[in-house]
A and B are shown apart, each in its own frame.
Chain A
Amino acid sequence: MNGRYRAQWSRVSLVIASIVAFAGFAWPLIAMAVPSEARAAVPLLALALLPAVVVAVALALDREMNSATTVAMLGVLTAVAAAIRIASTGVGGLEAVFVILILAGRVFGARFGFLLGMLTIALSSVLWGGFGPWTPFQMFACGWVAAGAGVLPRMTSGSPRTAARLEILMLLGYGILASYAFGLIMNLWFWPFAVGSGTDISYSAGAPVGQNLASFGLYSLMTSTLTWDTVRAVTTAVGIIFFGPAALAALRRAKIGRARATRQSGRKTPATTTPRNSALLDGGTQMRRSTAPGAAVAPPRVQRPSAPV
């Protein structure tokens, strides 16, 4: 398999896996559409489906991500994100981790971000405990949050400085949106389990769609949208404003390998990093070069002079 074909394949498999996983998240809606005899099986199916899709994604992406630089970056950033997640559990769970997921997804692309989100949940669960039926759901939701930042459009307008500001602004908006979306989608699959039957906001597959949506809306509003999600949106926004520029610069300065990096992000990144000025170019090591515009341009391959024998 050549590289481009494989990259294409992994992208397609990721999209398919996401669609299947989304169906798992939306099982309450699906259960309303199936015949009433089959309804009881739907929630069980959803709980079993998500772990299976996680395994399928790991199998599909494993070979594609198999390069030393990618694995090292993925591993190290997973450690950072998991540490942030564990450190911020005391204040309500998943708030601060979104900042690093969004910024890393932005710099290293959707596929990398997706895996980072998944592995962060996996690692923090390994370290802290907290494995449960929700773990695969959290893995997918966090993966989507990070991947989403990777598919946002590139900022091209104006000077590098304006582009950098616009990028932060865009990530800020995305961060707030993602915070609420994350809460909503996690509620969607969990709501029937959490409330159970026998209350007025219980899920009922046989009830009219409107009533179920209203129940879900009230549940979501009361349990997370007004509280956790808002806290999460605020932390994410504050984090992106305060650490965004410096963190993006730090990540971009270490952008991984040539072919892989360009394939992963599929685009040149806008400038937030100061270009190295020529007076200083020779200092330091060459491992940490700037990825400012111009820096991302591949060197011209000059005709190679034939070596004397």
Chain B
Amino acid sequence: MRPTRFTYLKAAIVLAVGFVMLRIVYRIVFGGAGGNGVVLLELPRIRLGGPFEHITLFGDVTTGGITNAAASAIPFAALVLAIGTISAVVNIRRLLTRGADRGPVRTVARALVVALATFPALLDAVRRVRRARELRGERGAASLIIPVLEHTVERAVALGASMEVRGFAAAKRAEPRCEYPAIIRDASLGYRDRWSLAAINLEFTPGTLTVITGATGSGKSTLLSALSGLFQHVFDGTQLGSIEVAGLDRDAVPPRETAGFVGVVSQSVRVSFVAATVAEELGFALVIRGVAPIIVEACVAEIAGRLGIAHLLPRETCALSAGEACLVAIGAALIEHPVLLLVDEPLADLDEPARARVVDVLDRLAHHAGVCVVVAEHTFSEWADRPDAWLELREGAVHRIARPTQAPDYSATGTQIVGAQAAVAQAAGSQSRHAPIAEITKLSVSHGELAAVVGASLTLRPAEIVALRGPNGAGKSSLLHAIARPNQRGVVVIDTRDVYTLSRRQRRRAVALVPEVFDDLLFATTVEAECARADRRAAASGTALRFTRLLGIELDTASLNGRTSAIMASHPRDLSAGERLCLVIAIQLSARPRVLLVDEPSRGLDAAARALVGAAIVEAAAAGAAVLIATHDRDFASRYATGEFTMGSGRLEAGAGVIS
């Protein structure tokens, strides 16, 4: 996608030559290629009638006529070449980057810079969605274009928010009173007429670390965005009562004007990156403020040094690991030394070492650098006793709680799970004497030079849930994808048939994979249409029924019918993350595969959603499928899996065994 200077010149030459040829063709067709010289062709002259009576087609074609035609085209062709040469000489990209930083057309130039920076992400999304639709057994263009569009729109919204909180297009900068980072008095927050939080009173002081917990949808992100101002000024929310940030009325001052002292790290850091490289990303807030390049460079180096990410500076933002991306986003938010730092679910995507590092960084910021750090999070264990205060959002109110020591509470659907697990155990007991349903022998995957999976062998039995554990980058996803789409003969055998040799339809009946970015599989406008589509593809029925059963709703219960039809009529992306994952599982089960693979089923889900998805997986296993889940979530694996493998740097590790 990166054009060289030669690209422009080549394009200009092709176009100029094409133009000359075209003119010769016109002359030949519309009777103008005659003249001196040798007669090359004697075409019959055809006179047109009606309004076209002044036109005669064809006629003699002579060398002189053609030379004349070519010569007459030269001025315009020269103009084309000249423009091509100019665009080859001028470095348009650099011009755009400069123009985006300052000057009279910086908005337009910035939009183009954003577009250029979006290209790698776009290509990535296309690749990913292409794989996803193959997993779903879809081929049409809609199954590619709609998820890609959804993804890019999501990126646009995240990007817009991230530019806003870093001061993009700020007309002025507000003056902070640093001794009061945030004071909330009698505040209620809601969208339209629905209040998600009511009558909150909170005061945040400098040099403290506060962690806000609560289930998905309890209002954690709402509260954080109300402090950053995105809630009131970008997301269209309504605030009552008073929220003061550094002594300023949050409802009156937009985020861009407080960018100098309020740092924000969004939930989806990777789609929020504005720049192409880490150094540009870190310096973005300063550059758009017009700070001199040499000072920007010094500030970037300082922040990178403090966070220990100096080695990442020249890297492209799209090539960062989840942990690195999180640290870069924190660095970008710190560049102006904020009084208040708001961090939304930083740990969701990270494995254990990266989590520890991020917690450490936030702890030091609060307790050594004196920043007021507010974090929304639904995992507890990593934080230990670092936070000064824990807040829990429950039923629209804020509760100050002691340090939570309990693992997430799964009790809501507890009885249901116990029942299903008993069924799995029973089924597993009766099946274990039978031959394994899937045999994977010496499976290896490499991405270019890098060996992602090395000689993995494992067997799966019906009604079994096997967890594949290991850190990010251990090769778990690569292994799952290779089981679903083997790259050679004889490595994956399901039901005595080599998956490599199966047709698309047969393969769907043998094995189904729910990828980590499961949203990529959704492209209809209603849940109902989505289920109907899955039924048609699998030449089966009952996807909708399966979906509601996975949600724990019985279709025949009269009182729940209202909720069911409401869910069926809603847009798939309006479902909660847990419900969406259940929908994708239901879709992937539509062809009744013998083996179900699920990549990171618990990532980013709160306790209730994890319980929902866990129950769905148990349900699938109870129906007789062999289930293999890749996860780095120890709690989840030990709760739902009947067996476990560990994976490290591409190898299934020895000693992997079955949990009793």
Contacts and interface: CB of A to CB of B under 8 A. Distances in A.
B27 interface: yes
Mostly, the B contact residues are helix
A122 B112 contact: yes
Contacts of A153: none
Interface string B86-116: 1100001100100000001111101111111
A30 B78 CA distance: 25
A132 B116 contact: no
A67 B169 contact: yes
B304 to A, nearest CB: 24
A194 interface: yes
Interface string B1-43: 1010001111110010001001100110111100000000000
Interface stretch (A16-24, A73-81, A141-149, A171-179): A73-81
B530 to A, nearest CB: 11
A158 interface: no
A195 B563 CA distance: 66
B145 A243 contact: yes
A80 B113 contact: no
A2 interface: no
B110 A77 contact: no
Contact of B149 (A119, A130, A222, A247): A247
Given A131-B83, A280-B567, A304-B240, A299 B193 contact: yes
Given A79-B122, A132-B80, A299-B191, A73 B160 contact: yes
In this complex, which of B108, B110, B169, B186 has the most chain A Cβ atoms within 10 angstroms of its Cβ? Answer: B108
Nearest to B222: A286
A133 B153 contact: no
B191 A307 contact: no
Nearest to B52: A214
Interface stretch (A34-42, A181-189, A224-232, A249-257): A249-257
Contacts of B307: none
Contacts of A202: 30, 32
Given A299-B193, A308-B186, A131 B163 contact: no
A210 B51 contact: yes
B26 A196 contact: yes
B577 interface: yes
Q: Interface range on chain B: under 10, 10 to 19, 20 to 34, or 35 or more? A: 35 or more
Interface string B190-202: 1111101000000
B12 A132 contact: yes
A284 interface: yes
B55 interface: yes
In this complex, which of B149, B191, B216, B241 has the most chain A Cβ atoms within 10 angstroms of its Cβ? Answer: B149
B280 interface: no
Contact of A258 (B186, B221, B236): B236
Contacts of B157: 69, 72-73, 254, 256, 287-288
In this complex, which of B153, B185, B225, B233 has the most chain A Cβ atoms within 10 angstroms of its Cβ? Answer: B153
A250 B146 contact: yes
B524 A75 contact: no
17 contacts: A47-B79, A61-B107, A69-B161, A82-B115, A119-B108, A128-B7, A199-B26, A199-B31, A211-B54, A243-B142, A254-B157, A257-B233, A274-B526, A280-B567, A287-B157, A288-B573, A304-B240
Interface of B: 1, 3, 7-12, 15, 19, 22-23, 26-27, 29-32, 48, 51-52, 54-57, 68-69, 72-73, 76, 79-80, 83-84, 86-87, 92-93, 96, 104-108, 110-119, 122, 140-142, 145-146, 148-150, 152-164, 168-169, 185-186, 190-194, 196, 216-218, 221-222, 225, 231, 233-238, 240-242, 256, 267, 523-526, 563, 566-567, 569-571, 573-579
Given A283-B576, A286-B237, 9 more contacts: A68-B160, A68-B256, A74-B114, A133-B80, A196-B69, A200-B32, A251-B149, A277-B567, A280-B574
Sorted from nearest, which 3 A-B pairs have the closest CB atoms?
A: A283-B576, A75-B114, A129-B11
